Structure 1
C-alpha cells in the first residue's frame, strides 16, 4: 500500500540509501548518413554552382590582359583586353574600361571604350555608356544610356551575319524608339 510519506518509486523493501535521481548522458551527436556531406559531393566541380565572381574594386587599376573561367565585376579601371568566354562581365557604376571584351554576357553600368563580342547578350543600363562595336545575339539598351558604335546581331553558330544592322547613335531619353527597334531585331 502506498503511503504519502514514501516516494512513489520506492521499493516495497525499505532501504537506508537515499533515492538518487537517475540521470543519463545523451550519446554524442552523430549526423545520420543522409545529413553527413560526402567527400565526393563536396569536392566535385559538378556539384558546385558557378556563382564564383571576381571583383576589381574601385581603387584598383589593371593594365594588360584579363583571362579566366569565372565571372568578373569591375568597379575600378581596366585597360587592355578582357577574355572570359562562357562568363559574365559586369562593369559597375564606378567602372571605367578601355578594352575589348569577349564574354558570354556583358552588362554595362559604367563606361566602356572598346568593342564587345558576346556569345549571348549585351545590356547597356540607363547609367551606362559604351563607345565601340557590339557583336551579340541579343542587345538591350535602356532609356538614358549612351551608345556610339556598330551592332552585329548574330544567331548561334553563325560566322558571318546574314542580317547586319550598323547604327551610330547616341541613345538618350529622346531616342528610345531607336533603342526599342534594335532590341526587337
Structure 2
C-alpha cells in the first residue's frame, strides 16, 4: 500500500520548489492549486507578482531584480543602474534601468522598472551576468559598455552623469582608454564624443 508521499507533493511540498518559482512550475512539480494557495495563506510562500512566488525560508535577495530576471530572461541592467553597480554614479535611480533587445516584449512588473530598447545587433556587447541568488542571475553591462551607453544617450539621460562616470572610471585601477575606445567603435554615436572627452581628461 503506497504512502502519502507517492502523491507527488509529499508531506513537504516546499522541498519540490526552487527559492523562486512560477505557478506553472509548482503545478509541474505536482503541487495542486489548492496546496499552493494554502502555502501562501500559511505564510510559507509570498507572491512576487502575478504567478510568481518565493519560499519564505529562502535567503535574503533583491526581490525586484529576481522578478525582473524571471519575467524577462534577457533583461540587462544598464545606464544609471549599471553605473551605480560599478561605483561610477552616486545616484540611485527611482526605477531600475533595464535593457531588452529592441522589439522584445516588456513584461508588467511590480518592481519599478524603466525599460530601454537596445539594438539587438549590439545587445550582447559588454554584457555580463550578475548573480542574485544561487538559481537566478540578471544581465549587467560592464563599466565600459555602461559609459558608452550613457554617452550615446546623453541627450536623454543628461551629459553630466556620463562624463562624471567617465572621470571616475579613469581613476580606477585597470581602466584602459584604448579598450574603451575599441568598444566604442561599434557605437558610432558614442565614439566621437567619447574620444573628445578623453582628449580633455587625459
- Between 1 and 2, higher relative CO (CA 8 Å, sep ≥ 6) is seen in 2
The structure with more helix, counted as a fraction of residues = 2
The structure with more strand, counted as a fraction of residues = 1
| TM exceeding 0.5 | no
Which of the pair has more CA radius of gyration? Answer: 1
TM bracket (short chain): under 0.3
